[in-house]
Structure 1
Amino acid sequence: MIRHSQELILNRLPNSASALACTAHALNLIEKRTLSHEEMKSLNREVIDYFQQHVNPGFLEYRKSVTAGGDYGAVEWQAGGLNTLVDTQGHEFLDCLGGFGIFNVGHRNPKVVSAVQHQLEKQPLHSQELLDPLRAMLAKTLATLTPGKLKYSFFSNSGTESVEAALKLAKAYQSPRGKFTFVATSGAFHGKSLGSLSATAKADFRKPFMPLLPGFRHVAFGNIDAMRALFTDCKKTGDYVAAVILEPIQGEGGVILPPPGYLPAVRKLCDEFGALLIFDEVQTGMGRTGKMFACEHENVQPDILCLAKALGGGVMPIGATVATEEVFSVLFDNPFLHTTTFGGNPLSCAAALATIHVLLEENLPAQAQQKGNLLLDGFKELAQQYPELVVEARGQGMLMAIEFVDNEIGYQFSSEMFRQQVLVAGTLINAKTVRVEPPLTLTIEQCEQVLTAARRALTALRQSLANPSAVVTENVTN
């Protein structure tokens, strides 16, 4: 009977046999803990072909730095230890990219995984109709943890969604007051969906989708005089500012720290003109910079706070938009004005609650400051020793960047680090800048390993520039 039913389904659905074979093959791989040498080679070829034919061939070109001998792109297979990952060839890489800031509590943190597994056994997703307890508990936790009067949370699935919710919330609050203009900053990255892209400041990302949402203006990051001038001009023309959105430390812009006093001055300016202040801490939040939130370095409190990335502990995707009661109350009368099906689902909330618990219990923000200082001091020393290659090293906590003299040197540095099985990558807005954004759980010994690899990479680059035909580093992945 079952076989007969399957035959009926296969006969009824076009291409169903091929799709069924694909899913069976994938499920077989998911269940396997290890692969034979031949299976690894086959999977590599398969993944590269599928990216070329069905995902996006541009990703293969973008990821050419993670190749060995130029003949394959590294294909992830599983997490290694807390701070490492393993490819299909069995090579273990020290992760100093952290999934662009996802793995603050490490890869496959056992407490986060356990929380998700226990919730999975009870209920993976909520009914949408009954009240779900973990969403309530996470909202309460964030109200307790976040600075100032932030009290209510809207949950989504990603950083760009958390920014979209913040922009809509600000619009709903300020539109009755006749304020429609948003102020963002040069070098900003807030996401690539239509609203967040309107605040993002890279032409390459924006141009294909013009015109974007109206009412967005950009001023130089860190220049309070320029922002005040824009506020004043907007007031003169009646284009009143609804909100300022900025990153307390620009991540994709190249890890750009604001000058001291800038964030408090922006807060004061917003208060003076009746504008809201939105902090996008999607990348800087959850202990990354040495404080739970980067805005706490200068004790500045936003009206709306955007979180994502590390909030899910590197196990589940989740975004959060946290706001004051005054602002969030615009959604009280109709809570369905802005919703998402999977936002605040039990698995993601379980992961977030466990992540916050680990961050606090292990005091990871303080560890980020300590280990970040060690790494940054080492990078600054290397910058002085290799001035023909490195412009500067900068950062806060475990969010660091090395800026090179040009884009190509930055790419070559990433490639050299990969050969030594240390994973780093450039930033999306400033291609000359390579980010170093490891898990906060990185050990002191692993910090020293990173610095040793960086020194070797810079030495190799210096020698290759002096003698382009020389082979100066052993490709340890061969």
Structure 2
Amino acid sequence: MIQMEKSVTAALLETAEKSVLYTARRPGIVMERGEGMFLWDTEGTRYLDFVGGWAVTSLGHSPAALQEALSRQASTLVHASPSYYNKPMIQFAELLTSVSGMDKVFFASSGAEANESAIKLARKHGAVNMNGAYEIITLTNSFHGRTLATMSATGKPQWKELYAPKVDGFKHVPINDLDACFAAVTNHTCAIMVELVQGEGGVHAVNEAYLYGLRKICDMYGMLLIFDEIQTGMGRTGKLFAYEHYGIKPDVLTLGKGIGGGFPLSAMLTKDKYDLFEPGDQGGTYSGQPLAMAAGYAVLQELLERNLARNAAKQGSYLVNGLHELACDFAISNIRGKGLLLAFDVPEGAGAELAAICLRGGLLINSPNPSTIRLVPPLIVAQKDIDEMLHILRHAFNQLKSA
């Protein structure tokens, strides 16, 4: 018998099985390259990407602006230690604080690190200004990261006992329930931390009256109001920052995902009055690293110059209309979200199966829970991309019905 030679993909998957720690269920494909709205695997199959690296690839895949910035910076300075300023750090800090309405910024590499920094700053504020207050109120169904502290802040019920004992000092209350939040406040509370749209939690937004109430509570008691905009920031919701939809500003703002366009980068921003850390209180080996700073500066400039927040609003509206048309023929309900952070519900348990059918049809979508589909495409998405996506989705629903 002639033994067939393994395909490149099969060989890579076999190596992955041996060498890569198992932390996620991944399909049997290996991504090899990307351009704009599309990814290609090692078999040459093309995928229209409406996952966007979990809302990361804000400029699409391998954008020219990011390539050029990284190449240019890599030829001069990659790393200089966080003990020193570097030119891209200063330039990016100035631009980011000016457009965000904040005064000071701490840079990190992941959203969890940015939120960890916010938690530390809140507790520092509690220690210095609030007689040792340390508790932080967050929301049920929220997601703030995967460090022990940010997992403790997260309101996912399935994480409640994971890696116990958790970090103490977090209280979880339901979204848009101001009475529950007010009841949770004690003389130990130093901050309230919220996602303006719960992305991982299924795309559920806070309402304006609720957010206004949170601002009033924090002002009344001298607590920090922290907006976790790791997923909603950088144009994702149709505004550069989601808080602009509400006209209510935070004391602390965290950013990640789309801020680097695919390069690992995050930020924690605050006002001058909360510039409280002493040397050694907070830091990180890669904080303000020149390569990351050049990437962030290039991405933000591109977002601003091309007004991709406006494109997110425009294309998001077009996509919502298309989903409502599909809902006339299929079991789609509760279409929701802002800009290009959108979701809809499907029959219970159908989410993963629908995503798998779409994958086979060349479309990447995300099912954060068994009854929800989340759509977070790159902010460069055009009407023709949405038309193609809706076409594939329609075929997928037909297959789901006939299964």
Change (3 A) 1:269 1:154: same
Q: CA deviation at 1:323?
A: 0.6
1:329-368 matches, cutoff 5 A: 330-331=276-277, 334-368=278-312
CA distance in 2, matches of 1:341, 1:401: 37
Equivalent residue for 2:120, pick from 158, 168, 173: 168
1:304 matched to 2:252: yes
Equivalent residue for 2:147, pick from 185, 193, 201: 193
Instruction: Spell out, residue by residue over 1:79-127, the C-alpha distance to the aligned partner (whole angstroms, 9 max, x if none).
Output: 1x31111100001111100000101111111011101110000111114
1:145 matched to 2:99: yes
CA distance in 2, matches of 1:439, 1:411: 21
User: Size of the alignment, in residue pairs?
Assistant: 398
Equivalent residue for 2:370, pick from 431, 434, 440: 431
1:391 matched to 2:333: yes
Instruction: Spell out, residue by residue over 1:236-293, the C-alpha distance to the aligned partner (whole angstroms, 9 max, x if none).
Output: xx4x310011101000000112234222221112111221011111111000000001
Q: CA deviation at 1:349?
A: 0.5
Provide structure 2 residue ranges, at least 5 long, that are not aligned to the other structure.
Answer: none
Equivalent residue for 1:107, pick from 61, 64, 81: 61
Equivalent residue for 2:84, pick from 124, 127, 130: 130
1:324 matched to 2:257: no
CA distance in 2, matches of 1:292, 1:450: 25
Equivalent residue for 2:320, pick from 356, 376, 387: 376
Query: Partner of 1:406: helix, strand, or coil?
Result: coil
1:421 matched to 2:362: yes
1:295 matched to 2:243: yes
Equivalent residue for 2:342, pick from 377, 400, 415: 400
Q: Tell me which protein shows more helix as a share of its residues.
A: 1
The answer to whether the Cα contact below 8 Å between 1:370 and 1:397 also exists between their aligned partners in 2 is yes
Query: Partner of 2:201: helix, strand, or coil?
Result: coil
Give TM-score scaled by structure 2 length: 0.95
Query: Partner of 2:317: helix, strand, or coil?
Result: helix
CA distance in 2, matches of 1:441, 1:369: 11
Query: Partner of 2:253: helix, strand, or coil?
Result: strand
Q: Percent identity?
A: 33
Equivalent residue for 2:399, pick from 451, 454, 460: 460
CA distance in 1, matches of 2:396, 2:74: 44
The answer to whether the Cα contact below 8 Å between 2:82 and 2:284 also exists between their aligned partners in 1 is no
Instruction: Spell out, residue by residue over 1:338-395, the C-alpha distance to the aligned partner (whole angstroms, 9 max, x if none).
Output: 11001211111001000011001001000000000010111123224223xx332211
Amino acid at match of 1:357: Q
Query: Partner of 1:272: helix, strand, or coil?
Result: helix
Amino acid at match of 1:321: M
Q: CA deviation at 1:131?
A: 2.2
1:245-264 matches, cutoff 5 A: 245-264=193-212
Change (3 A) 1:431 1:335: farther
The answer to whether the Cα contact below 8 Å between 2:82 and 2:286 also exists between their aligned partners in 1 is no
Change (3 A) 1:50 1:372: same
2:30 — aligned with what?
Answer: 75
1:63 matched to 2:26: yes
1:45 — aligned with what?
Answer: 10
CA distance in 1, matches of 2:247, 2:386: 29
CA distance in 2, matches of 1:454, 1:76: 21
Change (3 A) 1:202 1:45: same
The answer to whether the Cα contact below 8 Å between 2:197 and 2:203 also exists between their aligned partners in 1 is yes
Provide structure 1 residue ranges, at least 5 long, that are not aligned to the other structure.
Answer: 1-37, 65-72, 465-478
The answer to whether the Cα contact below 8 Å between 2:122 and 2:134 also exists between their aligned partners in 1 is no
The answer to whether the Cα contact below 8 Å between 1:393 and 1:400 also exists between their aligned partners in 2 is yes
Query: Partner of 1:222: helix, strand, or coil?
Result: coil
CA distance in 1, matches of 2:294, 2:127: 35
